[in-house]
């Protein structure tokens, strides 16, 4: 983190140096602020002690500090700011973190103040004071970086060094900076800068006015999070107080240089000391419900076959988790297994057994291999260790995992419960399903495929079991948990495990059901299938990492105090990530960083002011000058992307970011921010479908499917350009907004005391693969939910004019029929009669029509779309995600094109109504049958949003009028773009409406596979029909 920040700073500095000097006056204030903070920190803490910083010119220093404040990558800057704040608050000398090495600088600190980077790092470290480890880590990272880059940078830097007196010192700083820069991707820097700029400016002003206030603000906004890593060390970072879990998790993964992050998660202890998983999609603050920002990084999903993991680093982390599990008894194993696992641990950490090792048993006893460790076991471990000679650490880890994975309790998350008779049992959630234990005995097991529904109500937890071959009715098994919280916790774990291990793609959060309360919680990350695909695409040299505990051991043997060296590795990791990540990934990161930077910057600025008091006026002036320069640079920099998009991206990035996924995302974000809702809208159609599904158990399946379909985006382009296009599809797409919606939804769900989840893998899979992609449609009005009900009705087309919206519905129906939906189907049938004469035909049509389209099944409701967006998060990671962006473009270079189109369209189209010919249809009265899903209300429509843009595009063909509505709304910082296409088929009695409808749907599908049919309306006009044809 720190390194990143530093790099950005460096970059800025370089660019700005010239400017900065000129603009010193401006910068001065900022500089002073920063400087002050730095000084204070330095004095107390004494930064890494890079003498260089001391020597650096004040303005340079200032710049650095500014850069720091602007969170390049996010956390670092923020952390610094926070640290500063914390330091101030605490008043305790940061030095505790203390790097003795850096003490040297203290003397010059006041003058030097400038050594921003080092200082920042120190500050960060110091702030967390409590976490000595954390502090140490950052420093180490820097050092490492320095080392690596150092030689080169030194040479360069020296050349660059300003002529000023301090210049001498500068070179080292520059080196550091350069190093950091190298580590960080250039992209990131740019992105971060933009967001930061505004903040810095604000901060400066505010600082001058009243530093205290600023400080307070900082305090409010930034919080120091301590994350206990798997190697036992603490990672400290600052996050925005309102940051989502995802943000912190990404920070940690970044620190660890971990790419296969989907198997991991963060936990916190709730007020009852229960371990809970931090929901990445929700604000941290709302989850921990206390001021204890203490987390631990853990394996969340134990891969059934660790050998399929791509990177040794991932396996190593899994090993660390398992060692802990074994040592504490959470993963029970026999004596033999303990010894074998212990021996592999030794081999991985110590290398080959060395006969001359002094008293191996002494240090052995310091290591914990088992809960009931004894000398006998340790001797056996040593004995086995000897037999592993020649095995590399990676091999030893692999062997460790090969053995550990076979343990029966591997990856089983146990929960205390009582059965229906009040007998104490344990419920174990694992990759395969739900296990029931009584004492140590397995007394029942429910594989995921056998479970139709998982729900909880108060402190009861229920699973509905698929009827066996000989059974006719499904049965429900209930368990009693200790309380409501534990029931919900179990339920969530089940939902997540099922989604991760059994689904191809995560389900979108449930839409608001009509009359149904309950948690809408859904797993938001990547599924195992997705993460495997992503992992297979990892293309970076194997990251270097150190096996921490081994170092400890070795040190202890040497007599030196054992300290984890992990930090270094982390630093290395960070670098590698940046370098190795694809350009796309970088982009994403940058976006996220930018946001982070923004948040962080305030804190930094605040801190600075307080320190300013100590500085001399001259210094202050200098600082101000530097600040002004910085400001200027910021101003010059490209305007920061809208905050909303950033957040969105953030989430995306936070979701296990794979290079592949990342690419698509950035594009999307850009388009959104810039303008064109159209593009955005297209991808989203899928979402609505999902919602509909939610209601039905089988629906789940649909949701999965819907994800795939995303491609729909195209609509906009076609419509405007060619009026001729007959097919019209309403595509409610809420891309950006979705995440927020989800969040909000999820939060709501939490409050609720019950929830259901239908894990129907079969259905979902089938749907996902096949039907989901297509959706047809006819009209679309934002109401999405209709689809489920509509399917039957849709078919009805009356002679004169028929509006059809619900193609997707039909699809769902089909699915439903297969599964549990018979009821719905019945309903639809019932409705059909209403359709009148056409009913029969309609019935046929809907069903028939979808198939031709290819994937008629997908239904979409705009509201749903919003919820579905969660998928987006997941998508980034997945291949599917890629599709989305592509879909938008329709052509191979989808992204680029999209943007292009979007911009033009957006500007031109925004708020413009090209032509609306919907009206005529509406007028028709005779009989209009409209099926709308109830869900619609809850979803997009229900949510209050700010309408940003709206455009309507209408195209006509012989007997078909297509109206496309593009609506962009802002909800809580997220923008949602919905594309709705309304296809009106107008004709005389001569026209075969069924055929026309089928054709329209088919075309729509072709254009937008993701589309869902929201509504199908059939108007029978006796008289007015002609008018409509307009």
Is residue 93 classed as helix, strand or coil in its secondary structure? coil
Nearest-CA neighbor of 58 among 187, 154, 173, 157? 173
User: Considering beta carbons, is residue 219 or 388 the nearer one to another protein?
Assistant: 388
HSE at residue 957, side-chain half, CA atoms within 13 A, is 18
C-beta separation of 175 from 143 below 8 A: no
CA distance 303 to 411: 8
Candidates 25, 168, 403, 556; binder of another protein (CB under 8 A) is: 403
| SS3 per-residue string spanning 176-194 | HHHHHHHHCCHHHHHHHHH
User: Considering beta carbons, is residue 291 or 372 the nearer one to another protein?
Assistant: 372
Q: Select the span of 58-66, 172-180, 280-288, 433-441 touching another protein (CB under 8 A).
A: 433-441
User: Considering beta carbons, is residue 369 or 648 the nearer one to another protein?
Assistant: 369
Q: Select the span of 46-54, 75-83, 127-135, 438-446 touching another protein (CB under 8 A).
A: 438-446
C-beta separation of 741 from 866 below 8 A: yes
| Ranges within 445-474 binding another protein (CB under 8 A) | 445
Q: Please enumerate in sequence order all residues whose Cβ is within 8 A of that of 187, keeping only pairs 6 or more positions apart, or say none.
A: 583, 586, 587, 589, 590
Number of residues that bind another protein (CB under 8 A): 25
* DSSP letter string, 858-919: B---HHHHHHHHHHHHHHHHSHHHHHHHHHHHSSSSHHHHHHHHHHHHHHHHTT-B----HH
Q: How many CB atoms lie within 10 A of CB 851?
A: 18
Distance spanning both ends of the chain, measured CA to CA:
61
User: Considering beta carbons, is residue 432 or 669 the nearer one to another protein?
Assistant: 432
Nearest-CA neighbor of 810 among 770, 853, 847? 847
Candidates 210, 271, 444, 904; binder of another protein (CB under 8 A) is: 444
Nearest approach in angstroms of CB 343 to another protein is 9
Nearest approach in angstroms of CB 332 to another protein is 4
Q: Select the span of 236-244, 441-449, 689-697, 954-962 touching another protein (CB under 8 A).
A: 441-449
Candidates 352, 362, 383, 402; binder of another protein (CB under 8 A) is: 402
Nearest approach in angstroms of CB 408 to another protein is 4
User: Considering beta carbons, is residue 337 or 957 the nearer one to another protein?
Assistant: 337
418 lines the binding site for another protein (CB under 8 A): no
Nearest approach in angstroms of CB 793 to another protein is 42
Is residue 92 classed as helix, strand or coil in its secondary structure? coil
C-beta separation of 205 from 211 below 8 A: no
User: Considering beta carbons, is residue 318 or 620 the nearer one to another protein?
Assistant: 318
Q: Select the span of 10-18, 406-414, 639-647, 652-660 touching another protein (CB under 8 A).
A: 406-414
| Ranges within 327-356 binding another protein (CB under 8 A) | 332-337, 340
Nearest approach in angstroms of CB 946 to another protein is 52
Q: Which two tokens stand for residue 416?
A: 């205390």
C-beta separation of 881 from 872 below 8 A: yes
C-beta separation of 934 from 919 below 8 A: no
CA distance 512 to 608: 47
CA distance 669 to 309: 30
C-beta separation of 272 from 488 below 8 A: no
User: Considering beta carbons, is residue 56 or 391 the nearer one to another protein?
Assistant: 391
Q: How far is CA 498 from CA 55, 455, 501, 1010, in A?
A: 58, 13, 5, 25
Q: How far is residue 309 CA from its own chain's centroid?
A: 21
Is residue 451 classed as helix, strand or coil in its secondary structure? strand
CA distance 532 to 520: 26
Draw the binding track, 365-384, toward another protein (x: CB under 8 A; -: no contact).
Answer: -------------------x
Q: Select the span of 18-26, 357-365, 402-410, 900-908 touching another protein (CB under 8 A).
A: 402-410
User: Considering beta carbons, is residue 383 or 826 the nearer one to another protein?
Assistant: 383
CA angle in degrees (0–180, nearest 5) for 183-189-191? 140
- Burial class from Cβ neighbours inside 10 Å (0-12, 13-18, 19+) for residue 462 reads middle
Q: Which two tokens stand for residue 551?
A: 């170092």
User: Considering beta carbons, is residue 54 or 338 the nearer one to another protein?
Assistant: 338
Nearest approach in angstroms of CB 393 to another protein is 18
Helix and strand numbers, DSSP H then E, in the chain: 45, 19
973 lines the binding site for another protein (CB under 8 A): no
CA angle in degrees (0–180, nearest 5) for 87-89-91? 60
Detail the DSSP E strand segments found in 538-621. Answer: none
Q: Select the span of 144-152, 397-405, 585-593, 931-939 touching another protein (CB under 8 A).
A: 397-405
User: Considering beta carbons, is residue 434 or 787 the nearer one to another protein?
Assistant: 434
440 lines the binding site for another protein (CB under 8 A): yes
Nearest approach in angstroms of CB 260 to another protein is 24
Q: Select the span of 172-180, 437-445, 544-552, 970-978 touching another protein (CB under 8 A).
A: 437-445
| Ranges within 506-535 binding another protein (CB under 8 A) | none
Nearest approach in angstroms of CB 366 to another protein is 24
User: Considering beta carbons, is residue 93 or 332 the nearer one to another protein?
Assistant: 332
Q: Please enumerate in sequence order all residues whose Cβ is within 8 A of that of 113, keeping only pairs 6 or more positions apart, or say none.
A: 34, 35, 36, 38, 39, 42, 58, 61, 65, 119, 615, 619, 623
User: Considering beta carbons, is residue 341 or 702 the nearer one to another protein?
Assistant: 341
Q: Select the span of 253-261, 442-450, 611-619, 829-837 touching another protein (CB under 8 A).
A: 442-450
User: Considering beta carbons, is residue 444 or 536 the nearer one to another protein?
Assistant: 444
Q: Select the span of 288-296, 440-448, 623-631, 728-736 touching another protein (CB under 8 A).
A: 440-448
Is residue 235 classed as helix, strand or coil in its secondary structure? strand
475 lines the binding site for another protein (CB under 8 A): no
439 lines the binding site for another protein (CB under 8 A): yes
Q: Select the span of 32-40, 434-442, 608-616, 1004-1012 touching another protein (CB under 8 A).
A: 434-442
User: Considering beta carbons, is residue 355 or 441 the nearer one to another protein?
Assistant: 441
User: Considering beta carbons, is residue 403 or 910 the nearer one to another protein?
Assistant: 403
Strand partners, 755: 456
Candidates 100, 355, 441, 515; binder of another protein (CB under 8 A) is: 441
Nearest approach in angstroms of CB 439 to another protein is 5
Nearest approach in angstroms of CB 385 to another protein is 12
Candidates 407, 581, 702, 796; binder of another protein (CB under 8 A) is: 407
Q: Select the span of 259-267, 439-447, 559-567, 953-961 touching another protein (CB under 8 A).
A: 439-447
Handedness of CA 96, 102, 106, 109 (dihedral sign): negative
User: Considering beta carbons, is residue 234 or 324 the nearer one to another protein?
Assistant: 324
Q: Select the span of 188-196, 436-444, 710-718, 871-879 touching another protein (CB under 8 A).
A: 436-444
Handedness of CA 280, 281, 282, 283 (dihedral sign): positive
User: Considering beta carbons, is residue 362 or 402 the nearer one to another protein?
Assistant: 402
User: Considering beta carbons, is residue 371 or 822 the nearer one to another protein?
Assistant: 371
Strand partners, 295: 227
C-beta separation of 74 from 598 below 8 A: no
Nearest approach in angstroms of CB 403 to another protein is 5
Nearest approach in angstroms of CB 325 to another protein is 13
- Residues lying near another protein in the complex (CB under 8 A): 332-337, 340, 384, 387, 399, 402-404, 406-408, 432, 438-445
């Amino acid at each position: 983190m720190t390194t990143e920040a530093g790099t950005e700073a460096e970059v800025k500095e370089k660019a700005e140096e010239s400017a900065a000097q000129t603009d010193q006056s401006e910068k001065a204030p900022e500089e002073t602020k920063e400087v002050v903070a730095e000084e204070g920190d330095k004095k107390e803490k004494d930064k890494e002690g890079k003498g260089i910083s001391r020597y650096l010119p004040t303005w340079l220093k200032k710049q650095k500090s500014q850069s720091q404040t602007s969170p390049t990558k996010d956390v670092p800057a923020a952390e610094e700011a926070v640290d500063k704040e914390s330091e101030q608050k605490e008043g305790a000398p940061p030095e505790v973190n203390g790097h003795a090495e850096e003490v040297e600088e203290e003397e010059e600190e006041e003058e030097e103040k400038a050594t921003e980077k080092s200082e920042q790092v120190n500050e960060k470290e110091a702030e967390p004071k409590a976490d000595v480890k954390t502090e140490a880590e950052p420093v180490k990272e820097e050092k490492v970086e320095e080392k690596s880059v150092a030689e080169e940078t030194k040479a360069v830097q020296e050349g660059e060094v300003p002529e000023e007196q301090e210049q001498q010192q500068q070179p080292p700083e520059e080196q550091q900076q350069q190093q950091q820069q190298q580590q960080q991707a250039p992209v990131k820097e740019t992105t971060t800068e933009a967001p930061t700029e505004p903040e810095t400016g604000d901060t400066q002003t505010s600082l001058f006015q009243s530093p205290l206030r600023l400080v307070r603000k900082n305090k409010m906004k930034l919080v120091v999070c301590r994350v206990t890593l798997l190697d036992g060390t603490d990672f400290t970072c600052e996050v925005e107080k309102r940051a989502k879990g995802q943000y912190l998790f990404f920070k940690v993964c970044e620190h660890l240089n971990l790419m296969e992050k989907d198997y991991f998660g963060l936990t916190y202890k709730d007020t009852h000391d229960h371990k809970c998983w931090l929901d990445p999609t929700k604000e941290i603050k709302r989850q921990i419900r206390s001021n204890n920002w203490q987390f631990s990084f853990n394996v969340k999903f134990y891969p059934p076959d660790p050998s399929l993991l791509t990177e040794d680093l991932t396996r190593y982390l899994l090993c660390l988790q398992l060692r802990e599990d074994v040592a504490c008894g959470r993963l029970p194993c026999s004596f033999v297994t303990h010894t074998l696992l212990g021996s592999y641990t030794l081999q991985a950490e110590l290398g080959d057994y060395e006969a001359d090792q002094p008293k191996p048993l002494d240090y052995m006893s310091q290591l914990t291999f088992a809960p009931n460790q004894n000398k006998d076991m340790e001797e056996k471990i040593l004995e086995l260790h000897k037999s592993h000679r020649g095995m590399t650490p990676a091999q030893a880890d692999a062997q460790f995992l090969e053995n550990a994975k076979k343990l029966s309790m591997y990856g089983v998350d146990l929960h205390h419960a009582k059965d229906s008779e009040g007998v104490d049992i344990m419920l174990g959630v694992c990759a395969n399903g739900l296990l029931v234990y009584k004492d140590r005995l397995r007394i029942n097991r429910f594989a995921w495929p056998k479970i139709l529904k998982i729900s909880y109500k108060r402190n009861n937890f229920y699973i509905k079991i698929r009827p066996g071959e000989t059974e006719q009715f499904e049965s429900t098994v209930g368990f009693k948990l200790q309380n409501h919280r534990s029931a919900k916790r179990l339920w969530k774990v089940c939902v997540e495990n099922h989604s991760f291990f059994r689904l191809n793609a995560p389900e979108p959060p449930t839409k608001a059901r009509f009359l149904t309360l309950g948690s809408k919680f859904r797993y938001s990350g990547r599924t195992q299938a997705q993460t495997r695909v992503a992992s297979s695409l990892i293309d970076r040299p194997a990251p270097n990492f150190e096996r921490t505990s081994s170092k400890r051991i070795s040190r202890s043997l040497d007599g030196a105090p054992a300290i984890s060296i992990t930090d270094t590795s982390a630093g290395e990791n960070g670098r590698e990530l940046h370098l190795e990540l694809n350009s796309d990934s970088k982009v994403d990161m940058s976006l996220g960083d930018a946001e982070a930077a923004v948040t962080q910057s305030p804190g930094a600025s605040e801190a600075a002011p307080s320190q300013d008091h100590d500085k001399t006026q001259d210094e202050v002036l200098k600082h101000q000058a530097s600040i002004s320069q910085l400001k200027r640079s910021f101003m010059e920099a490209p305007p920061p992307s809208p905050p909303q998009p950033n957040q969105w991206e953030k989430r995306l990035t936070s979701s296990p970011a794979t290079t592949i996924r990342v690419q698509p995302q950035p594009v999307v974000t850009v388009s959104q921010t810039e303008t064109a809702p159209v593009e955005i809208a297209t991808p989203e159609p899928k979402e609505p479908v999902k919602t509909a599904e939610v209601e039905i158990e089988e629906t789940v399946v649909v949701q999965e499917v819907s994800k795939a379909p995303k491609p729909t985006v195209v609509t906009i382009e076609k419509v405007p350009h060619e009026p001729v296009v007959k097919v019209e599809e309403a595509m409610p797409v809420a891309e950006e907004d979705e995440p927020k919606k989800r969040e909000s939804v999820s939060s709501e769900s939490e409050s609720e005391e019950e929830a259901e989840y239908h894990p129907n893998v079969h259905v979902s899979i089938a749907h996902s693969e096949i039907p989901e992609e297509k959706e047809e449609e006819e009209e679309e009005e934002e109401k999405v939910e209709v689809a489920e009900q509509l399917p039957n009705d849709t078919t009805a087309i009356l002679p004169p004019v028929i509006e059809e919206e619900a193609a997707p519905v039909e699809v769902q129906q089909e699915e439903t029929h297969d599964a549990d939906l018979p009821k719905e189907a019945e309903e639809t049938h019932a409705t059909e009669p209403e359709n009148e004469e056409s009913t029969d035909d309609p019935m046929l049509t809907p069903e028939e029509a979808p198939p031709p389209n290819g994937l008629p099944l997908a239904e979409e409701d705009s509201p749903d779309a919003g919820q579905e967006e969660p998928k987006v998060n997941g998508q980034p990671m997945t291949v599917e995600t890629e599709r989305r962006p592509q879909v938008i473009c329709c052509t191979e270079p989808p992204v680029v094109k999209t943007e292009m189109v979007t911009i033009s369209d957006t500007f031109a189209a925004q708020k413009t109504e090209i032509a609306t010919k919907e009206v005529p249809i509406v007028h028709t009265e005779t009989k209009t049958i409209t099926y709308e899903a109830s869900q619609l209300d809850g979803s997009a429509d229900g949510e209050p949003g700010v309408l940003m843009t709206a455009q309507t595009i209408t195209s006509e063909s012989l007997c078909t009028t297509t109206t496309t509505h593009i609506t962009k709304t802002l909800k809580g910082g997220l923008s949602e773009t919905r594309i709705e296409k309304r296809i009106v088929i107008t004709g005389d009695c001569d026209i075969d409406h069924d055929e026309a409808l089928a054709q329209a749907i088919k075309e729509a599908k072709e254009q937008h596979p993701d589309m869902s049919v929201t509504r199908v309306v059939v108007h029978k006009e006796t008289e007015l029909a002609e008018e409509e044809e307009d």
